Amino acid sequence: MPNVLSQINELVRTDPAAFAARCDEAYTKAVERAARRIAERRGESRVILLSGASGAGKTTTALKIEEQLDRMGIETYTVSMDNYFKTLDPETAPRNQEGDIDFESPFCLDVDLLNRHFAMLDEGQTIHVPRYEFARQRRSDTEAQPLRLGEAEMAIFEGIHALNDIIVGKNPRAFRLHVSARRALVDGEGNVVFDESWLRLCRRIVRDYQFRGLAAEFTLRLWPAVRRGERLYVSTFKENALLTLDTSLAFECSALKPFVVPLLQEVSAGDFPVAESLLRAFDRIEPLDDRYIAPTSLAREFIGGSSYNYSHH
């Protein structure tokens, strides 16, 4: 069910703190339900595969499920599948139709190593999780971290390709979770003001700037390739999930507005039509001051000020 613009604006104006808290509580309850489902099936596999498109909130959702399982007495660890990227070799890297390196392809991952590690974890063996250095586009095996799971322990592997057939096919007993920001913002007549893909794009623009110092133009330039990768490699495989969790927060367009609008305004007119469309949409949205957003809110994954440390995920 979509969010209605007039109702959201009214809640932001009249009771922003309570509104934000209710949204976070609804998401927390969804996480708790997911953790219970995972716990019910933990005897089948110690591995949890968590997938979702870029900007869907995979990292925070994985960490929150980890926390909930820990509280239930199931010690859990979260691993970013980004660390399983292969060292970039231009000679063997997958290419798109234009002949450019396809960084969105699952074949950028060391799938054989991933599947071998999943099997070892289920057998109680120790694996060494690699670490990928994005600045150098190479894997640093010297920084590999050992991980071994006990009988009552689990590991969440989160990444956009976690539900791809080349992984799920080898690990059919793993719990499979898809996260998606699914709620659009509509006006009183049901016309879409702000769709799901725009929300994820704005999440990425703000996160890329807050955590990496990258201008909106950088994110906008990459976005078509990201969307193409989602259609080819993510959406196609979401049916492999046992459970889907919605990560959209009703207050989020309002919360993103003070952060993303100044970044969009720096984009040269005419370069990216979507930037101009976003600015027109934000003109209709009431801004929400981030002092009303809890440090544990999923929104903090993108706007910063989180109580979580994302640096090792």
Closest CA to 287 of 259, 245, 313, 246: 259
Q: Is the pLDDT of residue 62 over 90?
A: yes
155 has which bridge partners? 47, 77
Percentage of the chain with pLDDT > 70? 97
- φ/ψ bin of 3: left (φ > 0), alpha (ψ from -120 to 50), beta (otherwise): beta
pLDDT digits (tens, 9 = 90+) for 182-238: 889 999 999 999 999 999 999 999 999 999 999 999 999 999 999 999 999 999 999
Tokens of 241: 């999930």
Residue 260, pLDDT > 70, answer: yes
CA atoms within 13 Å, Cβ hemisphere of 94: 13
8 A C-beta contact, residue 121 and residue 149: yes
Q: What is the reported pTM? A: 0.92
Please state the domain extents for the chain. 3-301
Handedness of CA 172, 232, 161, 39 (dihedral sign): negative
CA-to-CA distance for 300 and 82, rounded, in angstroms?
A: 21
Q: Are strands 47-52 and 175-180 parallel, antiparallel or unpaired?
A: parallel
| Amino acid 92: pLDDT | 84
The whole-number average pLDDT for the span 272-287 is 97
In the prediction, which pLDDT does 313 show?
A: 39
Q: Rounded to whole angstroms, how far apart are CA atoms 295 and 186?
A: 28
**Cβ proximity of 11 and 249 under 8 Å:** no
pLDDT reported for residue 312: 38
pLDDT digits (tens, 9 = 90+) for 134-143: 878 888 867 7
Instruction: Out of 125-129, 140-144, 175-179, 283-287, pick the least confident.
Output: 140-144
For the 3-301 domain, the top CATH level (class) is alpha beta
Span 157-176, pLDDT tens digits: 999 999 999 999 999 999 99
Nearest to 215 by CA among 264, 177, 257: 264
pLDDT top residue among 309 and 104: 104
Q: Which two tokens stand for residue 62?
A: 């994985």
Q: Give one DSSP letter per residue of 239-294, joined into a string.
A: GG-SEEEE---TTHHHHHHHHHHHHHHTSPTTT-HHHHHHHHHHTTS----GGGS-
pLDDT at 273: 95
